[in-house]
Amino acid sequence: MAYFTGSGDSGDTGLLSGGRISKNSPIMEAIGNVDELNSSIGIALFYIRDEHLRNELKIIQNKLFSIGAVLASHPDTSSKHGLVKSEDIEWLEKKIDETGSKFPKLSKFVLPRGTEEAVFLHLSRTIARRAERSVVKAKKEADSAEMDIVLKYLNRLSSFLFVAAVYMNMINGVGESSPTY
């Protein structure tokens, strides 16, 4: 297996469903942001020792890979339909509620700091927001029902990453800091 093809040397790349698009297209920007998000979660996993959270993040990483496949498929093809489902959003919502119930309700904004686990989860949260914004832009080129589900998933994922960061600080005895205005 070759680790390079050279087929993208002119600035375009192939889609999973066939055809080629410019590497600076909104679709490719969204794919790149989702890939960066997945990588940042991989960094967080390096530091996280809580097995329950590790398992949840591994599930999320696989789902992000599926999201990349959805984005890299033309909306008229059915080969990638169903890779991201409403059940995936419901799973995230359940995990947000479960994790958020482990610490007192927050009444102030939280600065993104704390333990190594927490800061990398906060970084992943901000990358998830960027990925979400780029999918909004990509929807103008390739709108589909799957894109709507991807947007909802990324929106919930940023919330999950936030509560996971706060939880990591809590179990490690690090209090949250709020901004001073």
Domains of the chain: 22-171 (1.20.1200.10)
CA distances from 1 to 4, 12, 18 (A): 9, 21, 20
Which among 123, 119, 113, 118 is positioned nearest to 40, based on CA atoms? 123
Residue 131 identity (one-letter amino acid): A
Q: Range with the lowest mean pLDDT among 59-68, 88-97, 144-153?
A: 144-153
pLDDT band, very low/low/confident/very high, at 154 (cuts 50, 70, 90): very high
Predicted model pTM: 0.92
- Specify whether the CB–CB gap between 117 and 168 falls below 8 A: yes
Percent over 90 (pLDDT), the chain:
73
Longest Cα–Cα distance of the chain, Å, equals: 56
